């Protein structure tokens, strides 16, 4: 079997997935992270993020002796043939990606890299970073390669092991081929290109996805105005293979740690290149407007008109993470909606299967986080589904109807079956569909305390 010695610097979402998956493909991997506590946890097989199959791969890799965790980047790179940089590149001032983590690691390892090794930029970095990395390294014997990742949180391991494509960019073709060969067992098409093009692929792809979502959210709004049904419209669109069914679900807006950061970064890059990327700006504006549109929808559902007041109105939020299958709250659209609801004076209780009440999380300020859906629903004048956790569909909606102050549900993910909600006594408001009246009288209201044995 073809194996290489690989160092991965940074054991966050991208680095840990990359390290564990490369080890599962047979490579010898050393993962470095400066966070000592995290490294100790990982050595015990404890993975600090919610990511299916990752704990198993971390344990298996270590047991097989193919995966090691260290604190010191210098130790990790000592015998490496390929060094992956998987470092955070947060959005800095004015939407410019902040590369200080990459710069500081390069300063630390540049003299220690074995002759002839390849440095791979895996994180999403601005176009031109490979060239900059080369300058910072200032080592003629080392090649820099861009190999963007296309991992979704919540299915990162699956995405790594079943990629649609591998993109590798370098000005030295042999180095690009060496990196592409690491993934040979996956059998995915490889796009070998120059470094700038590889870097741009990542932004172009993420921004396209964001644009697709803003588009579908706008179509959903139009459906409401034209009395059409967005479920059928998107199904009809999605069968066109040029469009595809994926990423056609309307929602409260798109978010997470990647899409918002990347659209702003590409806008910045475009400005810098003297190109006015109006389509991208409209994509962002549509998303910002979407948060307010959801609040307006809740306002109309609760008060009957667009000017009604939400002051003192208790609202139960179902879901706070930016999407289902993750515990990540970064740039969560659910929290953007919650912030606007709070500004409007609403009183918020929130339940999310991935969150535990009582943990101090600054993002959740102003929301009373509770550990079960019944408590979130208690005495609420509306329940709002903000994250598409499948388990919300299977809740006992008749029971929930028995503890709310008013049986109104606003489903910003079109997740629930409107008939089930209606039969439980709820008036159902989805996106891009007609409101669905209750078809049964809800249970008489019961004090939640009376239900607790
Ligand atoms: C995104 C991309 O999908 C990955 O390909 C990419 O590798 C990753 O960013 C990255 O740059 O690292 P991720 O941020 O994990 O992945 O999240 P997505 O699954 O793309 O979801 C983004 C947002 O769009 C979420 O708020 C989600 O709820 C929303 N969404 C997604 C919808 O509202 N409707 C949909 O149909 C799909």
DSSP for 370-429, please give it: ESSHHHHHTT-SEEEE-S--GGGTTS-HHHHHTT-SS-EEEETT--S-HHHHHHTT-EEE
Predicted local confidence at residue 1, as pLDDT: 63
* 3-state SS, residue 57: helix
**Nearest residue by C-alpha to atom 16 in ligand 1:** 152
DSSP state of 364: G
CA gap 384, 298 in Å, rounded: 8
Nearest to 447, CA basis, from 407, 386, 402, 393: 402
| Residues 208-248 pLDDT 10s | 999 999 999 999 999 999 999 999 999 999 999 999 999 99
CA gap 111, 127 in Å, rounded: 25
**Nearest residue by C-alpha to atom 28 in ligand 1:** 323
Predicted local confidence at residue 445, as pLDDT: 78
CA gap 22, 218 in Å, rounded: 40
Predicted local confidence at residue 453, as pLDDT: 55
Those residues of the chain that have pLDDT short of 70 are 1, 94-95, 451-453
Angle, helices 259-272 vs 195-226, to 10°: value is: 120
Predicted local confidence at residue 95, as pLDDT: 62
**Ligand 1 centre distance from Cα of residue 291 (Å):** 17
**Ligand 1 centre distance from Cα of residue 231 (Å):** 20
**Nearest residue by C-alpha to atom 9 in ligand 1:** 258
10 Å CB burial of residue 250 (0-12, 13-18, 19+) is buried
Angle at the Cα of 14 from the Cα atoms of 171 and 135, rounded to 5 degrees: 35
Predicted local confidence at residue 124, as pLDDT: 83
Angle at the Cα of 235 from the Cα atoms of 233 and 240, rounded to 5 degrees: 105
Predicted local confidence at residue 89, as pLDDT: 81
Predicted local confidence at residue 93, as pLDDT: 73
Query: What is the set of active-site residues?
Result: 258
State the chain's mean pLDDT as an integer.
94
Note the pTM of the prediction, 2 decimals. 0.92
**Ligand 1 centre distance from Cα of residue 95 (Å):** 19
In this structure, the residues whose C-beta lies within 6 A of any atom of ligand 1 are 124, 149-153, 206, 209, 213, 247-249, 251, 254-256, 258-259, 322-323, 333
């Amino acid at each position: 079997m073809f194996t290489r010695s690989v160092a991965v610097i940074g054991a966050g979402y991208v680095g840990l997935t990359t390290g564990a998956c490369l080890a599962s493909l047979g490579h010898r991997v050393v993962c470095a992270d400066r966070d000592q506590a995290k490294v100790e946890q990982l050595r015990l097989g404890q993975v600090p993020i919610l990511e299916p199959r990752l704990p198993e791969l971390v344990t298996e890799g270590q047991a097989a002796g193919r995966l090691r965790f260290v604190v010191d980047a210098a130790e990790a790179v000592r015998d490496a043939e390929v060094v992956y940089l998987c470092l955070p590149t947060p959005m800095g001032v004015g939407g410019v990606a902040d590369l200080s983590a990459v710069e500081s690691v390069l300063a630390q390892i540049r003299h220690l890299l074995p002759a002839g090794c390849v440095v791979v930029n895996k994180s999403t970095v601005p176009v031109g970073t490979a060239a900059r990395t080369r300058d910072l390294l200032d080592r003629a014997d080392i090649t820099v390669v861009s190999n963007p990742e296309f991992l979704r949180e919540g299915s990162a391991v699956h995405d790594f092991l079943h990629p649609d494509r591998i993109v590798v960019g370098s000005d030295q073709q042999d180095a690009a081929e060496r990196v592409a060969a690491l993934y040979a067992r996956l059998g995915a098409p490889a796009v070998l290109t120059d470094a700038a093009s590889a870097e741009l692929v990542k932004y172009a792809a993420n921004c396209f996805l964001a644009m697709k979502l803003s588009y579908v959210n706008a179509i959903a709004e139009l459906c409401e105005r034209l009395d059409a049904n967005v479920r059928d419209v998107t199904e009809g669109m999605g069968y066109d293979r040029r469009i595809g069914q994926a990423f056609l679900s309307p929602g409260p807006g798109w978010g997470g740690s990647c899409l918002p950061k990347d659209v702003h970064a590409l806008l910045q890059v475009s400005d810098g290149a003297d190109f006015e990327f109006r389509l991208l700006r409209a994509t962002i504006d549509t998303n910002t407007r979407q948060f307010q549109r959801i609040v307006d929808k809740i306002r109309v559902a609760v008060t009957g008109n667009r000017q009604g007041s939400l002051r003192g109105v208790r609202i139960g939020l179902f879901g706070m993470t930016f999407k289902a299958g993750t515990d990540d709250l970064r740039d969560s659209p659910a929290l953007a909606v919650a912030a606007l609801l709070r500004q409007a004076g609403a009183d918020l209780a929130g339940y999310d299967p991935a969150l535990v009440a009582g943990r101090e999380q600054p993002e959740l300020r102003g929301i009373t986080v509770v550990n079960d859906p019944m408590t979130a629903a208690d005495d609420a004048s509306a329940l709002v589904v903000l994250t598409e956790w499948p388990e919300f569909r299977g809740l006992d909606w008749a029971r929930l109807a028995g503890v709310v102050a008013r049986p109104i549900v606003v489903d910003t993910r079109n997740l629930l079956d409107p008939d089930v909600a209606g039969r439980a006594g709820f008036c159902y408001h989805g996106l891009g569909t007609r409101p669905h009246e209750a078809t049964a009288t809800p249970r008489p209201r019961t004090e939640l305390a009376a239900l607790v044995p």
